[in-house]
Amino acid sequence: MMGPIPLCVLLPVTVLSVVVAVAAEEKAVDDQYTWPQWNLPLVRKRRTVPLTSPNFSAQPQPELSGTCGIECQRHLPSPSLDDLEQLLSYETVYDNGTRTLTSVSVQHLNEASVWSRNTSSSSRHKREVYGTDTRFTITDKQFSTKYPFSTSVKISTGCSGVLVSPKHVLTAAHCIHDGKDYLDGVQKLRVGILKEKSRRGKGGKGRGGKGKGKRRKGDKAKEEVQEKEETAGKGDRKGKGKSRKSRSRRSAESEKPSFKWTKVKQTQVPKGWFKGVADGLAADYDYAVLELKKAPKVKHMDLGVIPSVKKLPAGRIHFSGFDDDRPSNLVYRFCSVSEESNDLLYQYCDAKPGSSGSGVYIRLKEPGKKKWKRKIIGVFSGHQWVDVNGDGSQQDYNVAVRITPLKYAQICYWIHGDSSECQVA
């Protein structure tokens, strides 16, 4: 019988990978660039009406398909002001199972906020999404419970999210609603924040959390992705013996962090996400905000607006989430953006289901200051099958939703409940 693996064998592997991850995070700074300042449009509440309670019958989807992506959206007309007011109107669902619909008005929709549809790159990059697996598992609590990693949270429906205010979490809309109905787990929605002290042996079996995110087996597309990534991952791990790999995995498991689960009081989803509202633009509205019952004592990350990631020297985005192939561990990655439109980013980051809803951030300097600052500029939507030419052909991409000035104004309004606090980003 094999005894427990001595700590001295485990330590170098784990510590090394964490140090590499943290160093990578530190290095990828766009030194010369500062956060642009934006005058935001105003998103104001028009009126709120009660709706019948939802059925909460939808099942989580590990992967979206048939998304009208960047190419496909080029064929669509720009939304009018009326359209935008429709798309940005939103539902609020409360923890008592009721919901309301709030219609909004949009004002000061100036040049800065309506980004011309063709400002972004139109070059057709050959897709090379899955190179080496560039994900880092942040097992060491010294890092995972410290900023910026500590802003990443787990959503009880099986997704990830990010703290964007003392008590608000940004995530993907599809983690809450499938376009037709709210997900099964939404009425008892909870958010898991990594705890500094783990309960040995018990892993992540905190209240609420597990059980909810049902395993979805037999999903062909999902398996395909996994296979691709695993093949790709091999190159990366060359040189590390197999036994070593499994040891480091085991060590990660013995250090499984535990979560403190916090109840969600209310959830807001833009109407643009709902079936039949957005006509091909739904992918742009794959975001939602959860308000927690109690504010966790964890620093959040501010939102930011950036018109083009590709134009930054490093051109990289970062995000951390809870990929479901590494249960209960926080996984961090960074990568380049391969193509972008006003509302969407395609990128090369490796990701598995479970990381959907992660906050995508970059780091730039604050104007007139020496220090750089991280801000959330998008929400990771996930691996998707995207309509390319409107002729039924599909391609797979990793897609993130960009926070445009309008979406910033809306999310800011959700967070503050007062649009006068949301005039500048």
Ligand X SMILES: *[C@@H]1O[C@H](CO)[C@@H](O)[C@H](O)[C@H]1NC(C)=O
Is residue 343 a contact partner of residue 69, using CB atoms and an 8 Å limit? no
Q: Alpha-carbon distance 229 to 170, whole Å? A: 27
The encoded tokens of residue 108 equal: 């000061």
Q: Give backbone dihedrals phi and psi of 18, rounded to 5 degrees, phi first.
A: -70, -45
Min dist. Cβ of residue 265 to ligand X (A): 7
Min dist. Cβ of residue 52 to ligand X (A): 5
Which residue in 137, 49, 117 sits closest to 355, CA to CA?
Answer: 137
Cβ proximity to ligand X: between 250 and 275 the closer is: 275
∠ CA 27-315-109, nearest 5°, is: 130
Min dist. Cβ of residue 127 to ligand X (A): 24
Which residue type occupies 343? D
Give the side-chain half-sphere CA count within 13 A for 10.
16
Min dist. Cβ of residue 417 to ligand X (A): 13
∠ CA 198-204-206, nearest 5°, is: 95
Min dist. Cβ of residue 258 to ligand X (A): 30
Cβ proximity to ligand X: between 54 and 209 the closer is: 54
73: enclosing H helix or E strand: helix 70-73
Min dist. Cβ of residue 116 to ligand X (A): 4
Q: What is the DSSP string of 213-228?
A: S------HHHHHHHHH
Q: Alpha-carbon distance 91 to 110, whole Å? A: 26
Residues of this chain that interact with ligand X (CB under 6 A) are 52, 54-55, 94, 96, 98, 116, 118-119, 181
How buried is residue 78: exposed, middle or buried, by Cβ count under 10 Å (0-12/13-18/19+)?
exposed
Cβ proximity to ligand X: between 141 and 168 the closer is: 168
Cβ proximity to ligand X: between 54 and 203 the closer is: 54
Min dist. Cβ of residue 292 to ligand X (A): 14
Cβ proximity to ligand X: between 55 and 107 the closer is: 55
Pairing of β 190-194 and β 168-171:
unpaired
Alpha carbon of 305 to those of 32, 228, 404: distances in Å? 17, 33, 6
Handedness of CA 410, 412, 415, 421 (dihedral sign): negative
Cβ proximity to ligand X: between 32 and 52 the closer is: 52
Which residue in 129, 78, 87 sits closest to 341, CA to CA?
Answer: 78
Cβ proximity to ligand X: between 25 and 71 the closer is: 71
Q: Alpha-carbon distance 92 to 53, whole Å? A: 11
Min dist. Cβ of residue 61 to ligand X (A): 17
Q: Alpha-carbon distance 213 to 236, whole Å? A: 30
Cβ proximity to ligand X: between 306 and 399 the closer is: 306
Largest CA distance in the chain: 71
Min dist. Cβ of residue 277 to ligand X (A): 15
Cβ proximity to ligand X: between 177 and 374 the closer is: 177
Cβ proximity to ligand X: between 186 and 376 the closer is: 186
Min dist. Cβ of residue 55 to ligand X (A): 4
